[in-house]
Amino acid sequence: MHNNVENNQDINSSSASAFAFSFFLFFVLFAAGAAADLWTKDAAFQALGMPGEYRRIEQPELESAYYLWNGVFGFQTSLNTGALFGLGQGQVHILAVLSFVFLAGIICYVLLFAWKSRFLTVILAFISAGIFGNLYDRLAFHGITDVDGNTISAVRDWILVLFGSYRYPNFNIADSMLVCSAVLLVVYSLWFDKRV
């Protein structure tokens, strides 16, 4: 009987430690991902200016882009009032509300279930960081204004990728975290522990 009590205490202590570590891991990765996204957006817009400003006069053929690999990969600022891949243009308020709902849902899920899997915790941390980074922009906390001084509620995109004549929609680190994490979430759901 005494051994059963000790075993139960060990299990409870182990579960509490796993929960605390997973929750800590979630918030560290969330904060790091969100900080990386917001910092790179600020840096890109400071270096390249508003959409269409970068070397517009000197090199108009570059279409205001700074290429690391000419015609394939570079940086170009743009403002997206929609979601990933430019979907839902002009629906900033609806997308902001959905972002709050998804963030709250993910945090609740991590607290209740996901802490049992570190892999799932990592995935959800980066999804949350991506949601937060773009939500920050949708709420116009970036401080960008139009010529009349009105704040612009739009996501700052700055990564440019071209495949031959196809121009992939500009994106940012938050978008990258969302897409990569969605792929990992599918991998997790197909091949990893289904109990979470």
Residues with a catalytic annotation lie at 157, 175
Phi-psi region of 90 (alpha: psi -120 to 50; beta: other; left: phi over 0): left
One DSSP character per residue, 89-155 reads: TT-HHHHHHHHHHHHHHHHHHHHHTGGG-HHHHHHHHHHHHHHHHHHHHHTTTT--B-TTS-B---E
Q: Tell me how far CA of residue 179 lies from CA of 25, 50, 110, 151, 186, in angstroms.
A: 20, 25, 19, 28, 11
* C-alpha span between 196 and 57 (Å, rounded): 56
Calculate the CA 39 to chain-centre distance. 12
* C-alpha span between 123 and 188 (Å, rounded): 9
For β-strands 155-163 and 73-80, DSSP reports them as antiparallel
**Do residues 178 and 127 make contact, with C-beta atoms less than 8 angstroms apart?**
yes
